[in-house]
Structures are given as structure tokens and as C-alpha cells.
Structure 1
């Protein structure tokens, strides 16, 4: 139960709801346990009449009628309070489920980019859905049935003890065996539940990757291979589930067996006591009813134990991520207003997941409003520079300054809110085109949205769609072409009117003519905005105030376009190559 301590704060939050549910449960079960007593009294009245103790038949009929009405009334009231019990406890479990999902989601948002490189999306989804559902079963049904069980056992056995101690003690004989069985099976179920949840995560992750890469699967015609891999994981998951259910399946037969023994003991011992005139026939029937009423709460011990063990395993997986400390910490809560000056001082950066040193002793000084182009081969460290500016990672060697302030000391949220970032692989949400552009500025007007789209040279494409800006995109923007996705992503960044604009090779999917239009518009709207352009094309970089060429994490060239084409090196070679391609 150590892992489940995490949800105690939610029990405290909803303590009054749970307390009301507890009181209602006690009342409902107390009423339910009155029925055997009334039935026993009714049978005793009939027995007294047959023995001649009571001679007035009308009195007997009258009392039996009253008892029948009492049974009906008590059953109705018990049912009503049981309904209220579910409305309080089960609804509370849904509220706790909602709060726990929000807590996990907020933690996911706080965690750094490096965390997502180390964990699969399917596993993250499984923990916030399936694992939380398992925990809900603990805070809802498990709590409710546990209260039921405790109330019924305490009130029921108290009532039985008050009637006949000897008969009650014989009835309790099977319960030590029950306790030992539950203890042994609980340990087995906990271990197997953990394994089942792990395999469920594997299955979810596999499916998520398959659906995301469906184009590749169909293009390469590897459906049969994927199905084979899926079947293998699914079969393993099935075997682990069967292994778990074999342990769960032992509970109910064991419960029925033990309850059957209790019934036999009641009949045998009760019959002996009746023969010896120590009890009446109604007492035996009353005990039989008590034992059968207590069948469910005793039988549910196994089910509740299984739910608790599964919840424990799931909460352990949830806690694993909740206890993760974000690598990127916001140490400043005061407002940070950027001007746009960016400085790298002796920055060296190594990715800890791959141990690749992406940047080596980088020194860059960018003034507010300048446009900087960064070129280089694949893997030269271009994207790493802009990831450090956005503080998606923290460097351990060297210093990055924003307006002469170390980036670690600036307000993280304020810094990111003043940066417009267009990634190399644009991500669009399954919303309308309008909403995707407004993602950069939630309160943007229609005029601002259209202006941003025009500057990104995507307005004409949008209005050609039947629903225009209200067109709903497919997952990851699959409705649009690669170039259109890049341009919508650019519109989303520039509508923000940030202090720093970052374009990470985001014009690779557009033709040269469209690129020229977009760059011309960007040059006009970004006059007072510090702009970083990552590109493989000279056409994207030639108008920059400064061009930096990287190779294997080091700056090998820097200067203006005219300066760099005048000297031998990577930039001039690339310029000559692309000029020749254009002529051809």
C-alpha cells in the first residue's frame, strides 16, 4: 500500500463526501441486516402457534402481515440508501480520477524534452489512461465494497453473537483459512498485475507507432510483417493476462466453498441446539440468512484485494513519472522582458542519451533585430543551437545570455512566450487551420490570422479549401501537403509577434519562388525581431546580417554572404553547387 499513499491527499480533499458515503453505507447495511431478524421472528411466531404457546390465529396473522410490510419497507429503504451510497463514493472516485489525470498531465508538461526522448508515447498514454483507471477502481469500488464488508461483518456478527454465541463461533471456523488464502494470493496477484500493465504499455506503444507510421507501412508493403510483430506482443500480453486471471479465479470458488462450510455448520450445530430445545427454528433460518447475506462481503474480499493489488502496481508506474524532477527548472517567477540580444560564451553541449557532443566551444554574439543564418551539414549542431536558445536543454559547459542575463536566471515561461519557433518537422493539431494559427496567439482577430497567413504565403491555398480557415485538419496536419504545413507553422510563429524568431529549416518543402516570397515578407515584418534561420539553402541565408557555418559542432566560417563567397570554404562550395543546380 506504500505506492497508494499518493492518493491519500485526494481522500482528504473529498473527506466530507466520503464521510457522508460512509454514514449512508452504515445505515443501508444496518437496514439490510434487519431483514433476517424479522424473518426469524416471523418463523418463531408460527412455531409458537403450532406449539400452542400462542392460540389466537388472528394475532398471528396480524403480526405476520406487519412483518411482511416491515420487510418490504426495510428493503426499499436499504435499496434507496445503497443508491445514495454509490452516488457519493463512486462519484467521488470519478472526481479523484479527474484530479489524478490532471496532475499527471501537468507533470508531463513540466518534464523536459530529454524525458520524452527516453520514453515512448504509447507508454505515457497508457499510464494516464489505463493505469489511472486501475487506481480509480481502488478509490471507488474497492473503498465502497470494503466499507460494505466491514459494516456487514461487524453488525452481522454482533447481531449473531447477541442471539447465540456457540452457533456464531462455529460459523466463524472457516475464516482463518480465508485470511491465509487472501494473504498468499495477494502477493501473487500484485506481482502478476505489474507484469500485465507493462505488457499493456508495450501493446499501446506498438499500436501508436504503427498508426503514426501507417504511410511508411503501406508504402513498403510490410503489413504482414507488422501483423506478425503485433501478434507476438499480443500473444505475450494474453499469456500474462491469463496467468493473472488464474490467480484471480481461485478467489470465488474458495469463497463459495468456505460459505458452504459455514452453512453446513449452521444446519448441523443449529439442528442439534434445536433438538435440545436451546433455540427455535427461526434462529436457524435467521443464521442461514445472515451467513448468505455475509457471503458477498466475504467473497468480495478477493475481488477487492485484486483491485487493490492492481491499483498498487499501476500507481507505482504513475509515481515513477510523477517523481521525475524536470531537468529544466524555472528559478525566476518575476517577469522577463526580452530585447532580443543573444550571446553564446564558450558553449559545449553533449546529449546525455546518445553521449554525442553536438557543440564544441561555440561563441556567438547576436544583437537585437539582427538576422542570423546557420548553415552546415546534417548533424553539425545547427538545431542544437536553437534548442538551447529556447531552453529545451541546459548546457553544462559555457554560458548563454539573453540581454546580458544568464538564460537559467530568466523566467522560463516568459522567455518561451516571447520566442516564435518553427520546427524542421512542423506539427499541426487536429483542429481547424484557424485554430492552428491562433495557437501562437489565442486572442488573435480574423484580420491578424489572415495577415499572418498572407505573410507565410499560404492564404491562397487556405481559401481554396471548401471550408477555408475552418477546415479541420487530420492528425498531425495530414490533410495538408508538406509545404502547406510548413507555411501554416510559419504563420503560427509570426502571428505571435515575438522578440526572437527561429526557423529550423522550415522552407525545405517549398519551391524557390515561394521561398523568395516568404523570405521577403519575413524580412519586412522582422526588422526589429532577432531572427535565426537554419537552412541548407544559400537562398535562405544570403540576406542575413551574419552567416555562421558549422561542422561537427564547431564554427568553421562566419560573416556576410559577400564575405563568405569571396573566400574558399564550405559556404562558397555550397553556393557554387546550388548556383550550378539552378542553371541546370
Structure 2
């Protein structure tokens, strides 16, 4: 229960649901016990009245006695019906308190996990896959809810019912009570064992279904490649193998599941047999009446489900504990990307890197080595280099997705660690190398960084990114939904929409991370000419492997394996006959060809 103790704060928060739920459970069980006593009184009344009835055979009193008897039986029937209705009403209130409480806890816990996920640094997401993150916020939270809701509800019901019923049974006849209760612990243990096997096999089925779904999703997503390589037959054969495994596991679950109700029926039947056998002996001894036997049989049936639920509840609690432990594992991870002084101010855009070194914490790869750079506010710097040279790492450091291993980054002369993180990032526009668009309209994707942006600003940003004509040709124009990750757009269109999203924020610092790699030379020139006007009054960092992207820059840095190998203006670097000139001439020849 140690891991589940994390949920105590929610139980305290919703304590009135818990208190009222407990009260309603006790009341509903009281109304469940009274009918059994009424049945006993009714049966004993029948037996006693019949003796008296035949005693006054052919007497005028016999008809009067019959009327009193039938009225009494009718009264018992009406009282039993009223008590059943009252029990049902309070059972409804039990679910409206305890189950509703569990839904509130589920809602709060999901929000807490989601909000916590958003505070974690980029290094956390490099170490954990998306499927695992999703499982903890959905499946694990659902299992925890089963503990907070049904498990607590059935547990309270079992405790209250046992106290009420067993106390009353023992007060009537302790010997019969002992024999009646003997099979019930066996029932609980048997249900616990069977339920654990069912849970284990159900989880195996879920894993098998997950693999099957993943395979089908990949097959349909990559249908173009699959058809091009004529792999339809092989794909169908692999699907059949996965499908056979799923069928086999489902059948194994069905075989175990079929044991559930026979076990219950046998053990409950055994309790009823013991009630009749031992109870008959007690009747012969004059210690009980036939009405007591019927009452005890009703009590046995009342205790059957709570005892079954004990095994089920234990299994659910174990699963919830395992799930909560997985959730706690992530909740206990704290971000190290925190503000030291929480400075919130409008920045001008001056950037300075001082002897920065960075090592990726998850892989140990040294990405940046002794990197220094100074960009005045309003200037544009181009950082060029081949794949793996550390260009994108600099963008991540500047947006503070990571903190430097050593050295320092300053914005307007203030260490980046002193700024309020939200305030700093709100004044930056970032176009990542790996473009990500949301399953939204084109307009809403542009508005992503600034939801209140007016439509005319949206359209202007799309014009500046040279996407306006494309959008006008779409049937729904700006209301066109781009699909999952922008699947309905071409690579170049996705990059241009990503640029529009960044510049629409009117940022103080604009970071373009190889964002023109998927467009042709002509489109690149149009976009760069538009960006020249946009970059005029803001600091810009252009990261690219293409020299053409650097023509707007006031200053150029050549990077190789995290180290600066050349830096200067375009003319300076051309005159040096070094790496920049070599790259420039190669790309110039390629463009001419």
C-alpha cells in the first residue's frame, strides 16, 4: 500500500464523498438485512397460524383468523418491497458518491500527470517512448481508479455487511453460523486465484492485440512501399501469425473464465447444504425454527458477492499498486530546467555563448566543444555544417530545452538560467528541423504560439512563408485540416507552414533550424527575400547545411563536430579558401547543374 498512499491527498480532498459513501453503504446493508428477518417472521407466522387455524376447524373464528393471517402476510410483502426499494435507492447513492469520487480522482490524477509531463526536459523524452508515456496516463490511471472506486466500495460493503450479518447470525445460533461460513474463505481464495490468472492472461491478450494493431497500422501507413516491393503475400502471412497468437491467448482466457461461476455455484451450494443439514439438527433440538433456516440461507446469498468481491478487490488493489508505482516513478522525476531568478522582461535579442560545452545526458555524446559566439540585437548569424556537426544542439540550448554542461549563454547580458522560462520562450520563434504540425486547420496551426492572433496576421505570415497561393488553391483554404502530423501537405508545404507559425508570433529572436531543406532553390530564394524584411528588426539564427541560406547573415560560423572551424562574413570566408569556400563552390556547381 506504500505506493497507493500517494492517493491519500485525493481521498482527503474528496473526504465528504468517502464519508457519505460509507454512511450510505451501512444504511443500504441495513435495509438488505431487514427483509431476511421479515421472511423469518412470515414463515414462523404461517407455521403457528396453521396450527391455530386447524384447531378452530368449522368454528366462526376460523374465517376471522384467516383474514388476519392474509392481511399479515400482505403487510410482510409490502414491507419487504418497501425495504428492497429503499436498499436500491441507497445503493444508487453509494455509487453516486464513491464511484463519482473515483472519477474525480481519475480526472485530477490525469491532469497532474499531464501537467508534470510538460515540465520535464527534452532529455526525459529521449529516454522514454511515447507508448510508455501514454500507457501511464491512460491504462495505469484506469487501474488506479478501480482501486479508488469499485475496490473501496466493495471493501466497505464487505466490512459493513460482515459486521452486521455475522453479528446477527452468531446472536441467533453460533454453531450454525460457523458451519455456514466455512466455505466462504475457500470461495474468496478460489476467486482470487482464478481472477489473478484471468488478469494475467487478459494482459497477455492486450499485449498481443497491441502488437497486432501496431502491425496493421504500419502496413496501412506504408501501403505504398508495401505494394511497390510486392510484399502483400508476406504481409498477410505475418498478419495471420499475429492473429493466430491473439486467438490462442483469447481461447486460453475463455477456458479459465469458464471456471469462475461453477466455483461460485459449488461453494455457495455447499453453504446452503450445510445450513439445511446443521439447521435441521438445531430445529430437532428445539433451538431454531424453520424461519431461521430460510433467514440463514438468505444471509449466505447476501454474503456470497462480498466474499467473491474480496478476492477480486485484492487482485485489483495489487494491480493498482503496481500501476501507481509506475506513475510515481515519473512523478518523482523533477526537471532541472528551472529559473534561478525568475526574471520577466522584454528582451532586445542580444545573444552571447561563452565557451559552451554540451554533453547529451542520456547518451554521453559530446555535441558542442568550447563554442563562443556573440550576436548583437537585430543581427543575423548563420551557422553552417554537415549532418551531426551540432547545429541543432545549439538551437536546443538557446531555447533552453537543455542546459549547457559547462560555459554560459547570455541574452541581453543576463544568464539565460535567470530568465523565467515561459517569458523567454514566448519571445522566441523556432522552426525545428523535424517539422511537426497538429491535426488542425492551417489557420490554427499558424495561431498555435499565439491563439488570439487575428486572421489578417495569419494570412500575412502565410504570404511571407510563400504558402499563400497553395492555401488559396485548397478547397477549404485556410480552414483546411492538415491531418496527422501534416500528412495532407507536401514536405515543402509543411516547412513553410512551420515558418509561418514561427514568424506570426513576431518574436524578438527567430531561430530557423534547417527549415528550407525540403523546398527547391526558387522557393528558397522567395522565402529568403521575404524573411530579409522580417529579420530586419529582430535577432535571427539561421541554421543550415546549405550555403544559400547564409546570404542574409551578417556573420557566418562553420561548425564541424561541435567545434568552430571558420567564422566571419561571406566575403572574408570566400577569400580564405577554406571549408566554407569549398562547400560554397560545391553547392554552386550542383545548383548550376
TM-score normalized with structure 2 length: 0.90
2:17·2:101 contact (CA, 8 Å) conserved in 1?
Answer: yes
Separation in structure 1 between the aligned mates of residue 284 and residue 340 of structure 2, nearest angstrom = 82
Q: Secondary structure at the match of 1:439?
A: helix
User: Residue 180 and residue 137 in structure 1: after superposition, are their counterparts in 2 closer, same or farther (change >3 A)?
Assistant: closer
Mapping of residues 132-281 of structure 1, within 5 Å: 132-177=141-186, 253-281=262-290
User: Residue 226 and residue 323 in structure 1: after superposition, are their counterparts in 2 closer, same or farther (change >3 A)?
Assistant: farther
Equivalent position to 1:418, from 427, 433, 443: 427
What is the root-mean-square deviation in Å for CA atoms of aligned residues? 2.9
2:24·2:91 contact (CA, 8 Å) conserved in 1?
Answer: yes
Q: Secondary structure at the match of 1:33?
A: helix
- Which residue of structure 2 aligns with residue 371 of structure 1? 380
Separation in structure 2 between the aligned mates of residue 19 and residue 90 of structure 1, nearest angstrom = 13
Equivalent position to 2:541, from 525, 532, 536: 532
TM-score normalized with structure 1 length: 0.92
Separation in structure 1 between the aligned mates of residue 214 and residue 569 of structure 2, nearest angstrom = 47
User: Residue 90 and residue 543 in structure 1: after superposition, are their counterparts in 2 closer, same or farther (change >3 A)?
Assistant: same
Separation in structure 2 between the aligned mates of residue 7 and residue 203 of structure 1, nearest angstrom = 34
User: Residue 497 and residue 217 in structure 1: after superposition, are their counterparts in 2 closer, same or farther (change >3 A)?
Assistant: farther
Separation in structure 2 between the aligned mates of residue 52 and residue 168 of structure 1, nearest angstrom = 32
- Which residue of structure 1 aligns with residue 71 of structure 2? 62
Deviations 1:150-199 (A, max 9, x none): 22222111222232222212222334545666787898889888888887
Q: CA deviation at 1:256?
A: 4.0
Of 384-393 and 156-165, more deviation after overlay is shown by 156-165
Separation in structure 1 between the aligned mates of residue 500 and residue 129 of structure 2, nearest angstrom = 30
Separation in structure 2 between the aligned mates of residue 319 and residue 232 of structure 1, nearest angstrom = 37
Separation in structure 1 between the aligned mates of residue 220 and residue 134 of structure 2, nearest angstrom = 14
Matched, 1:33 2:67: no
1:372·1:544 contact (CA, 8 Å) conserved in 2?
Answer: yes
Separation in structure 2 between the aligned mates of residue 60 and residue 322 of structure 1, nearest angstrom = 68
Separation in structure 2 between the aligned mates of residue 205 and residue 3 of structure 1, nearest angstrom = 32
How many pairs does the alignment contain? 584
- Which residue of structure 2 aligns with residue 337 of structure 1? 346
2:40·2:292 contact (CA, 8 Å) conserved in 1?
Answer: yes
Equivalent position to 1:103, from 112, 115, 124: 112
Mapping of residues 438-449 of structure 1, within 5 Å: 438-449=447-458
Matched, 1:491 2:497: no
- Which residue of structure 1 aligns with residue 575 of structure 2? 566
Equivalent position to 1:72, from 64, 76, 81: 81
Q: CA deviation at 1:481?
A: 0.9
Of 189-198 and 301-310, more deviation after overlay is shown by 189-198
- Which residue of structure 1 aligns with residue 59 of structure 2? none
2:357·2:370 contact (CA, 8 Å) conserved in 1?
Answer: yes
- Which residue of structure 1 aligns with residue 61 of structure 2? none
Deviations 1:204-262 (A, max 9, x none): 77777777766655655556666777777777788888888888877655544433332
- Which residue of structure 2 aligns with residue 52 of structure 1? 52
Q: Secondary structure at the match of 2:160?
A: helix
Deviations 1:252-309 (A, max 9, x none): 5554443333222211110001112221110101111111111111112122222222
- Which residue of structure 1 aligns with residue 6 of structure 2? 6
Q: Secondary structure at the match of 2:583?
A: helix
List alignment gaps of at least 5 residues for structure 2. 57-64
Mapping of residues 304-315 of structure 1, within 5 Å: 304-315=313-324
User: Residue 120 and residue 135 in structure 1: after superposition, are their counterparts in 2 closer, same or farther (change >3 A)?
Assistant: same
User: Residue 215 and residue 353 in structure 1: after superposition, are their counterparts in 2 closer, same or farther (change >3 A)?
Assistant: farther
Separation in structure 2 between the aligned mates of residue 210 and residue 499 of structure 1, nearest angstrom = 44
Q: CA deviation at 1:443?
A: 0.8
Equivalent position to 2:465, from 439, 456, 465: 456
Separation in structure 1 between the aligned mates of residue 300 and residue 335 of structure 2, nearest angstrom = 55
1:111·1:326 contact (CA, 8 Å) conserved in 2?
Answer: yes
Q: Secondary structure at the match of 1:565?
A: helix
Q: Secondary structure at the match of 2:388?
A: coil
Q: Secondary structure at the match of 2:556?
A: strand
1:371·1:533 contact (CA, 8 Å) conserved in 2?
Answer: yes
Matched, 1:325 2:327: no
